[in-house]
Structure 1
């Protein structure tokens, strides 16, 4: 049976590669001379866009089966992206799950229903991504990171897919930095990090999957690995300090109480926070918790924390005490920065039903860090609007 599945996967992979005219990453960028995909990409990617910057943010999407929402979120995002000329996607990880139909206790690497992907030619690239997201979403780049479900199988295969097959799934390494110039010379930096080494206590980690062994292979499970990552993050933030906007993108949450010290549930995520605040990062984007939630900048922190992990996987956990959240709702986050770069406007959008119009649940505005010495966040909660000024 496993041999048959191997040949089916191989045939589908050949069709996937030969049937479409994708541009592989190695045709556009310099392939890194690195021992593993965990080594940060050595240079900053430069991008230029005319006019406004518009991007969608979502994670935790690649799951089929009962009580999942991938189809309806894909439909809602496609309609939104087509209408608003979305520039690119921020993909927050957990790209490929085991289906929600798998019986309890099914092995993570079950031959027919498994976590993550086995290879760059895995049929799930087609059934979970290429066949699901159409319209404008099929034409723009998905700037991606890996979530824990991607680590449960072959996380290297997701990086290989970018380099060898399709650069639209942008994942050149598990850590990389982009500098975007748009509009009237406005600059925005995006630092993409893998937060898996910070979220789990691997000393006591007993889950039966490849997470711990993969992290050990990449030397990311110990203090030396996490300390090196923090130094890299600090160096990257220093290098982009002159940008009008600075964003950090990670899979695991820092919304609400999830950024507090908790050795049981969030382990070392709290160690990221001082670096974000020291460099006055504009926003941190995360998935993992299957919710839509935000913690706005305030008098104790200049950072706005955006959670957008309701992209399709069955809904569940949440971070306590955010500024706003909504339960049991599939959806995504829309970000719009006008060409003058002075403000960031965000909208949380529900997408619970495939054929129903999307609905904006919550919206607000964040000022560029360089524009003022204080932060103004305008909040629009359903039908009520207020403005909060933090000195």
Structure 2
């Protein structure tokens, strides 16, 4: 075999391998964007709920009722849903009745007939992931918007929704007798690398007054699951480098507000949509832990150019905690 022929064959092998990798390696390419046309001279109002999908049990219906009452009072723009949408094991398909039993037939208040921007939780990954991502569900209920990762532009605020479940090593190394649907994620290393690059790039290019990242898993928490080490190591440096104002999550079944004393990032947990964990709290710096409530409830946020007002409510609509985050519009002055 001549030298030229050998080189030609090697080139073909390299080309075919490269082309095959392009086909099989999951690539976010560019995060899909949604736009909310915010009315001029009006604050942005939204609710945050997570860890809810239990067909109305564990006080899910009571939380939904209070969300409806407050949603009408504040004339909310949309709902942010931070995952674990259908317990225990996600949806079996687009025709799974749980979509109606845990979502459509529960959040019936007129004020909640707004778009629900949703991410997946670890329990959702135990079912058929593509079912929750399918446009068929949006045909069944136009409120439902669920993607792995995406961006929501709402004028002065830009939200970066991040698929956090594939970051957790335990779900791959020690699945605890659970089966996870990793279609669209494997090979994992490429998936996470692309995702981190896209989030970093999108945050760096954003000129929004407020930058908020949304995910299911905790980064910092005094709750049951503890800090997600993989997110601390891989995602948190990106949040810090791009001056993110807040990280909103669920996963821990509680309501919680932590302000990092070094970075100033606000960690807001709203995982009280149904089942809660009583008395399950770890030690935390008292100067950072502004709220830890081990019961059901939800969170409301109202944002203007100058400040973000955060309120946590319990299952009866009682205010548990309020906080106002100021925005310095002239940081260099």
TM-score by length of 1: 0.70
For residue 207 of structure 1, what is the aligned residue in structure 2? 176
For residue 318 of structure 2, what is the aligned residue in structure 1? 359
Contact 2:25–2:187, Cα closer than 8 Å, also in 1: no
Contact 1:197–1:221, Cα closer than 8 Å, also in 2: no
- Select the residue among 295, 298, 301 that pairs with 1:332: 298
- Select the residue among 224, 242, 246 that pairs with 1:279: 242
Confirm or deny that 1:48 pairs with 2:37: yes
Confirm or deny that 1:323 pairs with 2:292: no
- The 2-side partners of 1:301 and 1:145 are apart by 25
1:116 to partner: Cα distance: 1.1
Confirm or deny that 1:247 pairs with 2:212: yes
Confirm or deny that 1:192 pairs with 2:161: yes
Contact 2:56–2:101, Cα closer than 8 Å, also in 1: no
1:54 to partner: Cα distance: 0.5
- What secondary structure is seen at the aligned counterpart in 2 of 1:326? strand
Contact 2:246–2:265, Cα closer than 8 Å, also in 1: yes
- Select the residue among 228, 245, 250 that pairs with 1:266: 228
Deviation per residue, 1:13-37 (Å, 9 max, x gap): xxxxxxxxxxxxxxxxxxxxx9899
1:180 to partner: Cα distance: 1.1
- What secondary structure is seen at the aligned counterpart in 2 of 1:243? coil
For residue 292 of structure 1, what is the aligned residue in structure 2? 255
Larger CA Rg, structure 1 vs 2: 2
Between the two proteins, the alignment pairs up a number of residues equal to 302
Contact 2:258–2:290, Cα closer than 8 Å, also in 1: yes
Deviation per residue, 1:75-98 (Å, 9 max, x gap): 111111111111110000000003
- What secondary structure is seen at the aligned counterpart in 1 of 2:131? helix
Contact 1:58–1:91, Cα closer than 8 Å, also in 2: yes
For residue 92 of structure 1, what is the aligned residue in structure 2? 82
Contact 1:201–1:267, Cα closer than 8 Å, also in 2: no
For residue 79 of structure 1, what is the aligned residue in structure 2? 69
Contact 1:39–1:174, Cα closer than 8 Å, also in 2: no
1:199 to partner: Cα distance: 2.8
- The 1-side partners of 2:187 and 2:171 are apart by 7
Confirm or deny that 1:121 pairs with 2:121: no
Deviation per residue, 1:131-151 (Å, 9 max, x gap): 111223442010100001110
Contact 1:85–1:136, Cα closer than 8 Å, also in 2: no
Gaps of 5+ in 1: 1-33, 99-114, 182-186, 375-391
- The 2-side partners of 1:224 and 1:254 are apart by 22
Contact 2:27–2:194, Cα closer than 8 Å, also in 1: no
Q: What is the root-mean-square deviation in Å for CA atoms of aligned residues?
A: 2.7
- The 2-side partners of 1:272 and 1:287 are apart by 16
Q: Rate the CA distance shift 1:46–1:59 in 2: closer, same or farther, 3 A.
A: same
Deviation per residue, 1:108-140 (Å, 9 max, x gap): xxxxxxx21111221111111111112234420
Gaps of 5+ in 2: 1-22
Contact 2:26–2:185, Cα closer than 8 Å, also in 1: no
Contact 1:93–1:147, Cα closer than 8 Å, also in 2: yes
1:64 to partner: Cα distance: 4.1
Contact 2:78–2:114, Cα closer than 8 Å, also in 1: yes
- What secondary structure is seen at the aligned counterpart in 1 of 2:167? helix
For residue 11 of structure 1, what is the aligned residue in structure 2? none
Contact 1:94–1:149, Cα closer than 8 Å, also in 2: yes
- Select the residue among 291, 306, 314 that pairs with 1:342: 306
Q: Rate the CA distance shift 1:202–1:72 in 2: closer, same or farther, 3 A.
A: closer
Kindly report which structure 2 residues correspond to 1:14-93, keeping only aligned pairs within 5 A, or say none: 39=28, 42-50=31-39, 51-64=42-55, 68-93=58-83
